[in-house]
């Protein structure tokens, strides 16, 4: 079978450490080349990762007819512009989260994508593809914890590097954009619905002018998502899903090594049980699913309207942080 050929924009760490190795393990995909404004750096990376082609500009890789899919891990403010450029060049796209700087920009990309119905464009929320989430959704669908009423999620790390793009306001930095987007996505994914209103509070770093700790409540109309994210906190993550008859705790819901099982702790009146989901590479599974959509001309698993809705919640939380009031969606 002819494999789907990928081109990578930039030598971003997430690409080098996680996504490219994931693609290289895919049964459907191969990485053909990397483009960087620093061609010498790209050459070194390609040598280490055994990637055949090197490009000295993003435009050069977009024009290569051998490339089928572009992976876009550029800073957030370049997600939409270069995803559009890739579509205009006839390429499918896997774009890192968050898709855009705001919902208006994300909607622009959604509308543009409709002009290229033969192309697949997907936001890279890799966590959804791990088997542990299939297990969690199965437990919920079987009614083992009753009706899900509240979800608590946290995702945080510590980073005060002034040169890091996550601390650049003009690049779309800050905790809510970088990791809070996972917590929002996860609540929407489990509830299979959109919040009707949100409220939030942000601590803004005085030097970087980005949110370093954000808390928010998402009202799903009788059901609630409560999230905490931070870029100046202990490195941690976790999700607790509370139902009317029990709860599910997922130890590493978002970023999990391919060498560790997904651990679900299920608590009901009958006691506590542990479920170990199989070890898996989120990134490989994500790329497999996108490749299957391309090969079979099927909808992608996380379509752009889902990405737009996630951005709407992010925008509303920021608005609430400024006003101190609930914001309706």
CB contact at 8 A, 196 and 313: no
Note if the bond before 104 is cis, omega within 30 degrees.
no
Say which DSSP state 3 is in: P
pTM of the model: 0.96
Reported as a single tens digit per residue, the pLDDT across 75-126 is: 999 999 999 999 999 999 999 999 999 999 999 999 999 999 999 999 999 9
Exposed (0-12), middle (13-18) or buried (19+): which is 74, by Cβ within 10 Å?
Answer: buried
Domains annotated for the chain, with CATH where assigned, are: 4-127+284-302 (3.40.50.720), 128-281+311-328 (3.30.360.10)
Q: What is the pLDDT of residue 170?
A: 97
Closest by Cα among 47, 83, 84, 52 to 66: 52
Question: Which residues does 276 contact at the CB level (< 8 Å), separation at least 6?
Answer: 261, 262, 263, 264
Distance CA 193, CA 104 (A): 20
Distance CA 49, CA 51 (A): 6
Q: How confident is the model at residue 2 (pLDDT cuts 50, 70, 90)?
A: confident
């Amino acid at each position: 079978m002819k494999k789907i050929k990928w081109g990578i924009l930039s030598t971003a760490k997430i690409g080098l450490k996680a996504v490219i190795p994931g693609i290289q393990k895919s049964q459907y995909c191969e990485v053909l080349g990397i483009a960087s404004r620093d061609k010498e750096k790209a050459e070194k990376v390609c040598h280490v990762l055994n990637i055949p082609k090197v490009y000295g500009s993003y435009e050069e890789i977009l024009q290569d007819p051998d490339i089928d899919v572009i992976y876009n891990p550029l800073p957030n403010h370049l997600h939409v512009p270069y995803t559009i450029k890739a579509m205009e060049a006839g390429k499918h796209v896997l774009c890192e989260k968050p898709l855009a700087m705001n919902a208006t920009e994300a909607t622009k990309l959604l509308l543009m994508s409709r002009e290229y119905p033969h192309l697949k464009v997907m936001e890279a929320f890799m966590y959804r593809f791990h088997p542990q989430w299939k297990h969690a959704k199965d437990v919920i669908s079987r009614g083992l914890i009753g009706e899900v009423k509240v979800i608590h999620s946290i995702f945080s790390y510590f980073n005060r590097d002034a040169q890091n793009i996550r601390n650049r306001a003009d690049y779309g930095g800050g905790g809510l954009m970088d990791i809070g987007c996972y917590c929002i996505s996860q609540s929407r994914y489990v509830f299979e619905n959109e919040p009707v209103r949100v409220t939030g509070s942000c601590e803004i770093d005085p030097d970087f002018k980005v949110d370093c700790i954000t808390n928010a409540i998402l009202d799903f109309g009788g059901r609630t998502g409560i999230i905490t994210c931070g870029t100046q906190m202990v490195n941690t993550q976790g999700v607790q899903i509370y139902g009317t008859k029990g709860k599910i705790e997922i130890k590493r819901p978002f970023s999990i090594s391919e060498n560790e099982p997904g651990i679900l702790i299920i608590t009901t009146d009958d006691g506590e049980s542990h479920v170990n989901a199989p070890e898996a590479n989120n990134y490989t599974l994500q790329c497999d699913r996108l490749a299957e959509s391309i090969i079979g001309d099927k909808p992608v698993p996380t379509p752009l309207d889902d990405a737009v809705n996630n951005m709407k919640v992010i925008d509303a939380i920021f608005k609430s942080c400024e006003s101190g009031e609930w914001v309706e969606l």
